[in-house]
Amino acid sequence: MTTPYPDRSRVDAYAKVRGAATYAADAQFADLVHAMTVPSPVAKGTLTALDTEAASRVPGVLRILTAADFAHAVPEGTHMGAPPPTLETRIAYLGQPLALVVAETLEGAIEAAEAVRPIIEEEPFAALMTSPGAVRENAEGMEAGDVEAAFAEARTIIEAEYHSPTQHHNPMEMVSTTAVWADGRLTIHEGTQNSGAVRSAVARLLRLDPAIVEVKSPTVGGAFGQKGWAQRQTAIVAHAAMLLGRPVKLVMPRAQVFHVATHRPHIVHRIRLGADASGRMVAIEHDAAQQNSRQGPFPPEYHEAAIRLYGIASYRGTAADVRTDVSNPAHMRAPYEHPAIFAMESAVDELAAALERDPVEFRMANDATHDPHTGQPYSSRFLNECFAEGASRFGWSSRSAAPGSMTAPDGTQIGWGVAGGVYPALVHPVIARLRIYADGRTRFSVAGHEFGQGIRTVLANVLLRELEVRDDQLEILIGDTTVARQHLTAGSWGSFSAAPAAAAAAQKMQAAVTELLDGRRIGGSLHQQLATVRRPFVEVEVTQFGPGQDAALLEQWQNYNFAVTGPAYPGFTAMSYIAHFVEVRVEPRTRRVRVPRVVSIADCGRVLSPRTAESQVRGGVIWGIGHALREATETDPRYGGYLNCDFADYVVAVNADIGEIDVGFIDRPDPLANSLGAKGLGEVAMVGVSAAVANAVFHATGRRIRELPIRIEHLL
């Protein structure tokens, strides 16, 4: 299908603006009680006792759960960085839940939680990568070509170190769990990107049959990695509901979310980049060392995308965890690509400046057709088209090349910066069901979670293009283990996976209705056709695989809740790309940095929903500006906790920080990715923004800032 998809309004827009969209914490039940955790006041040690006498006297307190209540639980964590989701006596980080108080009211639960007095044998701890006791642990890297030989022939080499700070997700919806135990079944309402993993983790930890556990996550109020796996509180709240026989709700305060939920770690990048006599980049060495917890499994995989941004034949990527006494880091939007490309695209800009090359022309001259890691061709690659279109829209040809040469009449320094971005195109198998009723209803069920990215709108756009059904009675069921097997929605594989399944289900439905009509020609919609032949509904099911996938992955999905493949597929590599052009203005006296305009052009294959695609890119750009100029989680090395754990002090971009954002798409289908030609967009939208901002600051001031966020003191 080569015709662009229509710019359909978001299917959930009306419900959201009216406040009718339901979130996990909105679930209401008779006899609902409230819970609150008791966080550890120290960063490391052993809990020897809990004084709960005063807490037990608070009116309405029903029960105080401790580690003793989880002696039967399976002592293992969940996949990819989630902390062990039970109560324990070993304390690994400040804020770790030590107990759970359940009371008739929220106020009673909070008062009692504050009255619990833990007795702890404290131990020395390391809170920073530079603290005594922090241990570097080398990890697997990535290499291509002959790096030593390439550097030996290089004529221009730059070396630099770049820092990206610890950063925390701050979605509007805080972490919450509501658990209901009734009629021998456990139902969990939780804002999550992975209801399937929540189900299996709770069943495993509490030694339950997964068949009696269900998880519902109809709408998530922001996630992007924070809610990717079972949360620390999930099984604790579920066990409380089972012990009390009443629904239990916990909404974690934001300060506790900072300490308990996962985050983006502090990362130090050391880059060496070389170009030959012709000015072509020939070799790069990139070491990425991230702060991790003592046992955190989040791997430092910072090279998979960076190696594929440009046509650099020789690449050596090394990586390490620096083990400290903090909570586990994990995925945060473009988890590896955002920080890695900040460093790499800053270095590329430094090399272009050293060679006196235009930053856009230099990048376009280093394009590639083949993956340097595998040697395979790219399925499609329109990064240079992104640069060309972005430069045209931005007016790049009017740029004065010399740093500090562009100023406003009041002395404000003006800088223009550019950076590219890349993200792997990943895919997960899915099982989807489509049912069309004679009474006008249509139901589509598939794996997926809606946390603002617009996956329901994407699926609606595909279905309504293929089927003549009523759009006002189209119901898309996702994030619910009762309607379809669920997988993690992340890594920009949501649409790549589910949208082709929607198209396949629609085609199978058309064939089923044609067979049902048996040669009869009946006009009208599919609903009318079913009504005419007195058929109440027709249902079809499809199993959709990505390139090179087969039925063996279904078993892996069942066992591990995760069966993603890519970006290297049989015969080709698939990536998404973006180019960002940023203007900054640096005030002459205060040195405050403003970003009045951005132009971002993306290559994500076929755009399935223009409305939500543009929103995704704007959101990524805003987040990237925030990361470049505002966001950093400050660690207190004395106590091991976070100092700015609220919206007052964790500074995010607001309306006053954001100017015009012009978004465009190449919108050319990828011929190999899938039947729709679509690749991912949500993650790549952010990649490269912070580098473009930093490069623009250099152009404005002549100062190369290699540490995020860029602050006023860097420019004084």
Q: Does the pLDDT of residue 229 top 90, yes or no?
A: no
Domains 24-124+172-223+227-260 and 428-559 share a fold: no
pLDDT of residue 187: 98
Q: Between the CA atoms of 73, 77, 82 and 85, what dihedral angle is there, to the nearest 10 degrees?
A: 10
Interatomic CA distance for residues 432 and 444, integer angstroms: 7
Count other Cβ atoms within 10 Å, centred on residue 363.
24
Tokens encoding 603: 């290559």
Residue 2 has pLDDT above 90, yes or no: no
Crossing angle, helix 195-205 and helix 234-244, to 10 degrees? 60
pLDDT above 80 (res 688): yes
Amino acid in the structure at residue 684:
V
Q: How confident is the model at residue 74 (pLDDT cuts 50, 70, 90)?
A: low
Q: Residue 467 has which token pair? A: 């089927």
CATH T-level fold of 428-559 = Aldehyde Oxidoreductase; domain 4 (3.30.365)
* Residue 75: pLDDT band with limits 50, 70, 90: low
Q: Give me the pLDDT at residue 79, please.
A: 41
Tell me the average pLDDT across 113-118: 98
Average pLDDT over residues 519-529: 94
Q: What is the rounded average pLDDT of the residues 230-256?
A: 96
Q: Please state, rounded to an integer, the average pLDDT across all residues of the chain.
A: 95
Quick: pLDDT tens for 400-439. 999 999 999 999 999 999 999 999 999 999 999 999 999 9
Residue 558's pLDDT band, with cuts at 50, 70 and 90, is confident
* Percent of the chain residues topping a pLDDT of 90: 94
Mean pLDDT, range 275-294, rounded to an integer: 97
CATH architecture of the domain with range 24-124+172-223+227-260: Alpha-Beta Complex (3.90)
Segment 102-107 shows an average pLDDT of: 98
* Extents of the domains making up the chain: 24-124+172-223+227-260, 267-425+570-715, 428-559
289 to 25, 258, 312, 631, 709: CA distances (angstroms): 37, 22, 22, 20, 18
CB–CB of 487/426 below 8 Å? no
Which pLDDT does position 3 carry in this prediction? 83
Please give the angle made by the CA atoms of 527, 533 and 536, to the nearest 5 degrees: 55
CB 229 within 8 A of CB 330: yes
pLDDT at 83 over 70: no
Q: What is the pLDDT of residues 348-400, one digit of tens each?
A: 999 999 999 999 999 999 999 999 999 999 999 999 999 999 999 999 999 99
State the amino acid at position 651 in one-letter form: V
CATH (residue range 267-425+570-715): 3.30.365.10
pLDDT of residue 77: 46
The pLDDT, as a whole number, for residue 444 is 98
CB 486 within 8 A of CB 479: yes
- Identity of the amino acid at 467: L
Tell me, what's the pLDDT at 230?
Answer: 85
For the residues 306-325, what does the mean pLDDT come to?
Answer: 97
Q: Cα 175 to chain center, whole Å?
A: 15
Mean pLDDT of all residues in 325-338? 96
C-alpha distances in Å from residue 258, one per residue of 149, 249, 410, 422, 637:
46, 19, 41, 29, 16
The answer on pLDDT for 192 being more than 70 is yes
Is the pLDDT score of 82 beyond 50? no
